[in-house]
Structures are given as C-alpha cells and as structure tokens.
Amino acid sequence: MRLARKLIGEGSFFAAVFVLVTFAAFPFYWMLLTTFKTDGDLYNLKSNPYWFNAAPTLEHIKYLFEETLFVQWIFNTALIGVCVVLITLVVALPAGYSLARMPGRTAESLGIGIFLTYLVPPTLLFLPLSRVVSLLGLQDSLWSLVLVYPTFTIPFCTWLFMGFFKSVPREIEEAAIVDGCTVMGAFVKTVLPLSVPGILTVVIFAFTLTMQEFVYALTFISSSDEKPVTLGVATDLIRGDIFYWGELMGAALIASVPVAIAYNLFLDRFIAGITGGAVKG
Amino acid sequence: MTAIAEFAPRARHRFLFDRAEVLGPLFIAPAILYVFALVALPFFLAIYYSISAFTIFDPSYRFVGAKNFLDVMQSDVFRRTLANTFIFTIGAQIIGLLLGKFAAMLLMKEFPGRGLARALVVLPWAVPVSLATLAWQWMFDSLYSVINWTLIAVGLVDAAHPPQWLGQQDLAMIAVTVVHAWRLFPFGVVIFIAGFTSVPKDILDAATVDGAGFWRRNYQIILPIIMPIVVIGLIFGTVFTFTDLSVVYLLTRGGPINATQVLGSLGFQVGILSGDVAHGAVICLFLFPFLLLVVIFMLRALRRREI
C-alpha cells in the first residue's frame, strides 16, 4: 500500500514536471524540427508532424546563409550590442560607484529614481524618439539603436553596479588612500579589479537586453541591411504572404541559442538585480 | 623647498581627484544626462505632440488642445483596445503567476534532471520575443497548425472546420494572452524560487513541529515572508504586459478587425504606420496614469524593504 502510494506520488510529480517542461519548451522543439524538415514533409497534413517522415535536410539553413541577409543581420546585432555595452559601461560604472559611496539619502533617492526609469517602456517613447532619430538624421540606420538602447541598459546596469560596489568594503579604498593613492586612484587600482565578476555580468545583461529589444528596431529601421537579427527575421523572411517556415525557424533557432545560454548562466544575478535584495537572506 | 615646488603640478592634479564631493557628482552626471535627454525629453515631446495636429505629412505645430484626447476617447476602436489591454494584462498575469508558483514548487524538490528542467522552463523568458513569437505563429498556422493536427488526431475537433487560432476574434484574444503568459511564467518561476530559497528552514521546521499542515505552512508562513519579492515580480510583470506590443503585433497585427488590439499596437499603427503622430501619442500616453500607479506601488515596496 505504502509503496503503491509512493509510486503514484512520484509518478504524478514527474508527470507534472513533464507537462510544464513541454509547455515551456515545445515551441523550441518545434523550431528545431521545422528547421531540418524538407518542405514536402512540412506541408503535408497526412504525416505525423512530431517527427521526421523524410530524411532531415540542411537545405533551409543553406538557403538562409546563402540567399538571405541573415549573416548581415547577425553582424548588425553584434555591432549594436558591442557599442551599447561600451556606452553602458562608460556611463553606468562610475554612476553606480558614485551612488554606492555617496553619503546620505540623496544617493538613495537618485538610485531609486534611475532604477524607476527602467520601468518606462519603449511603448511610451517610440513615437517621440522616432522623431528625435529622424531629426538627427539617423532614420533607417542601426546607429539610431546604438543611441537609444542605452536608455534602458544604463538604468538597469547602474542599479546592478551600485549593488556590487556596496559589497566592496570601503576599508580597502581607505587603506589605498592612506598609502598615497588619490580617491580616483583608489577606485581604479583597488575597486575595479575586485568588481570584474560584476562587470562581466553587466556586459552579458546589457548585451542580452539589447538582443531582445524589438519595438525600437521595428519603429526606426526599415532598410533590410540595417536591421538587427530579431527584426530582420521577423519581417524580411516573409515575402508577400508566403512564410518560408523552414528558413524562419532555422533563423530563430540560431539567433536564440546564444541568448538562452547566456541568460541561464547569469539568471540568479539578474533576479538579484531586479528584486534589489527584497528578501534578506 | 625645492622638492615641494617640484611636486606642485602633481599636487593640483591630486587636488581634483582627491575631492569626493567633486568626483561623486562628476561620476553620476553622464547617467543622469543620458536618461534626461533620451527619456525625460522625449516624454515631454510626446505630451507636446498629443496637444497638436502633428502628422508626418504636416509637421508644423498647431495647438489643438484636448481635441485629440476627445477624438481618441470617442472612438469605438480605442474603447475596445483599452478593454483588450486590461483583459490581456490580467489574464496573462493570472496564468503566469499560477503556473510560475506551481512550477517553482516542483523545481524546489531535488530530482534527477532538475538543472535541465529549470533551464528549459526559463527558455521562453530568455529567448528574444520576436523569435519565440514566430514559433507560435507557425504553431497557430491556419493550415499546418500542429495544435489543430493534434486536436483532430485525438478527435476533439472536426477536420473539416479546424479552429482558426489567429483568425477568429475570441480565439485570437485567447491565443495572444496565452502566448504572453507563456513568455511571462518563467519569470514567475525564478521569482518564486528566489522567494522560497530565502525562507529560513528553522521557521518551517518550527511550524511543522507545532502542527502546521501543507496549506497553513504555504499561505500563513511562506507567503507572507516572500510577499515583498512577489510584489516586485508582479509589478515588473504587469508593466511588461500592459505596455507590450511585440506579441500582439507579430501574431495578429491587432486583428482580426481590431479584436486583439492593445494600447501599444494601436499606438504603433496610428502613430507610425498611418503617420498620425498626434493621435498615436495620445494613445500611448494613456499608458502613463497606469505606470504612475505602478511606480507608487514600487516605491512603497522598495521602502518596505528598507525597514
């Protein structure tokens, strides 16, 4: 009796886990399957869609790399990402340090104020920003995204940096100052080397946040060769009303994998950043 | 004396870098300027557009007062959009939170393959929204939908009239909401896991010894402890959903016949695609009172954290 109950308990537990994982991951399994199916296999209502009915093919991937702008889009995304990360580091690193070390309540209010701007959504700003972008002559250029993306990476990363720098003991800088460093020198020589893990986290997050953005890209850019991969795939692989699902899913899969891995590795820090230590350990 | 004279230039340079009260503001100024120039100013620009007759075809400024607001509020499409936005937000939040809590409780247990299960569950949140939504669009395909194939195979649906997930008004709304909930629930999972791991074990043990059962432990002990973190998660989730336009735009473009239109997608359609910047700005500004409320809640949640 006891054993039977235990088995039923275990069974339903794993069944529940299976259902959840399927719900979460099925679209990605679907991407994978579609990418490698032949067109004859894809567009056939009679065959079982859950597995290959004809030998898998690389034809969609080949088409994607040879006949479309996919490689260009990936390059654009990488270029935008690198530039945005650099701007974010240059602006957010000192700001986070300053907020962590500034005495009194002003620093706290400023910190919360900057964090709240992370809550201002692209939906509220895309219209006026599209005008600003065209006034600056950046319409249809990926540089418009390099300019605008830091508006959400800077607030979030400043907040993350503030947390990191607060965890670096002030005594270390004080010791360096006593030994003859300037305040600036103490920051560069003692605090920065200690915060390399923090900087790395920020780099990853600024990059993934940039990769996930869609609204600004959709609003500002209409030339195919200036698009980042998330926009190009969603808008340019569809000709007329015809969806090339093999190519579409292949492109989505290839562009998703790196982001998914990076996110999983740094997930805990992301949550710590968002909740700002809302729960004391 | 000579030694001091020699070091004089260096001393001045040290003087600047040694004053924390100079360095502090200097360090934070770029961040504030950037946010001011590209968040605050555009926001005021949006207000400016909303009370003008500005379109991309006639970009001259003409003050029209509250006319645009009245136009928008009197339109049936807008009323429908506003209602949709709330249904979309509340529906996705409820599904997302329930699934998130359930999944987090499952993933708190030790079992073989837990790491992999967690990594897979997080996928919908991690992958760029436009790419993940494409997969759903393909799954909802009017002809080759895998969902319909399965329903037909099981015998739940008549093969001659399969449901058109993105083509029927009520189904499209359900589809859009479910896809967003799917995207959101992993966020709920990690929020709840972060909460659960922060509950001190000895409190739970003490409660169990005192005779608290499963439900009592869950709702009278764990929930109050993890409440602050859940509230912050909920605030983020609500903002992301309420202001989202990607899922709706990619799946249905707001159709069929505006049945799935939300504030974001309508603002995009009017302001960018039709070029009527003034009315588009008005539609998007309707997000603002809601965001203001959220910010107030957020501030209270953060303040509670300090105590």
Mean pLDDT over the full length of chain A? 84
B151 domain residue, yes or no: yes
Q: What is the pLDDT of residue A82?
A: 94
Identify whether the C-beta of residue A274 lies closer than 8 Å to the C-beta of residue A163. no
A107 domain residue, yes or no: yes
B258 domain residue, yes or no: yes
B63: DSSP letter: B
Q: Which of A253-262, B34-43, B152-161, B240-249 shows the lowest mean pLDDT across its residues?
A: B152-161
| Whether A208 and A265 share a structural domain | yes
Which helix (H) or strand (E) element contains residue A237? Answer: none
Q: What is the pLDDT of residue B257?
A: 85
Q: What is the CATH number of the domain that holds A260?
A: 1.10.3720.10
A89 domain residue, yes or no: yes
Does B13 have pLDDT greater than 60? no
A65 domain residue, yes or no: yes
| Whether A24 and A66 share a structural domain | no
| Whether A122 and A240 share a structural domain | yes
Contact B28 A121 (CB under 8 A): no
Contact A114 B271 (CB under 8 A): no
A112 domain residue, yes or no: yes
| Whether A67 and A152 share a structural domain | yes
Work out the minimum CA distance from A24 to partner chain B, whole angstroms.
5
B43 domain residue, yes or no: no
Q: Which residue range(s) make up the domain with A19?
A: 1-30
| Whether A14 and A129 share a structural domain | no
CA dist B283 and B72 (Å) reads 7
Work out the minimum CA distance from B209 to partner chain A, whole angstroms.
23
| Whether A20 and A86 share a structural domain | no
B1 domain residue, yes or no: no
Chain A hits for B49, CB-CB cut-off 8 Å, are 127-128, 131
pLDDT band at B202 (very low <50, low <70, confident <90, very high): confident
Chain B hits for A158, CB-CB cut-off 8 Å, are 31
Name the more confident of A102 and B100.
B100
B72 domain residue, yes or no: no
Name the more confident of A261 and A143.
A143
Q: What is the pLDDT of residue A240?
A: 64
Contacts of B100 (CB under 8 A, 6+ apart): B184, B185, B186, B187, B188, B189, B191, B192
A51 domain residue, yes or no: no
Chain A hits for B240, CB-CB cut-off 8 Å, are 121
Contacts of A148 (CB under 8 A, 6+ apart): A129, A133, A216, A220, B38
pLDDT band at B15 (very low <50, low <70, confident <90, very high): low
Does A84 have pLDDT greater than 90? yes
Q: What is the pLDDT of residue B292?
A: 86
- Residue of A119, A234, A267 lying closest to B294 (CB–CB): A119
| Whether A194 and A96 share a structural domain | yes
Integer distance in angstroms from the first to the last C-alpha of chain A?
41
A38 domain residue, yes or no: no
Q: What is the pLDDT of residue A271?
A: 67
Q: What is the pLDDT of residue B206?
A: 87
A13, A19, A21, A118: best to mutate for the B interface, most B CBs within 10 A = A21
Does B307 have pLDDT greater than 70? no
Q: Which residue range(s) make up the domain with B121?
A: 77-306
B23 domain residue, yes or no: no
Q: What is the pLDDT of residue A154?
A: 92
ipTM rounded to 2 decimals: 0.85
Total count of domains within chain B:
1
Contact A279 B25 (CB under 8 A): no
Residue A177 three-state SS: helix
Contacts of A206 (CB under 8 A, 6+ apart): A81, A84, A85, A88, A89, A153, A157
A194 domain residue, yes or no: yes
Q: Which of A4-8, A160-164, A251-255, B22-26 shows the lowest mean pLDDT across its residues?
A: B22-26
Query: Can you say how many angstroms the Cα of residue B12 is from the centroid of all Cα atoms in its chain?
Result: 50
Work out the minimum CA distance from A1 to partner chain B, whole angstroms.
22
Contact B38 A234 (CB under 8 A): no
Q: What is the pLDDT of residue A118?
A: 80
Residue A244 three-state SS: coil
Contact B131 A263 (CB under 8 A): no
A47 domain residue, yes or no: no
pLDDT band at B4 (very low <50, low <70, confident <90, very high): very low
B133 domain residue, yes or no: yes
In terms of C-beta density within 10 A (0-12 exposed, 13-18 middle, 19 or more buried), how is residue B61 classed? Answer: exposed
Work out the minimum CA distance from B220 to partner chain A, whole angstroms.
17
Q: What is the CATH number of the domain that holds B83?
A: 1.10.3720.10
Q: Which of A241-245, B203-207, B266-270 shows the lowest mean pLDDT across its residues?
A: A241-245
Total count of domains within chain A:
2
For residues A200-208, give the mean pLDDT: 86
Mean pLDDT over the full length of chain B? 83
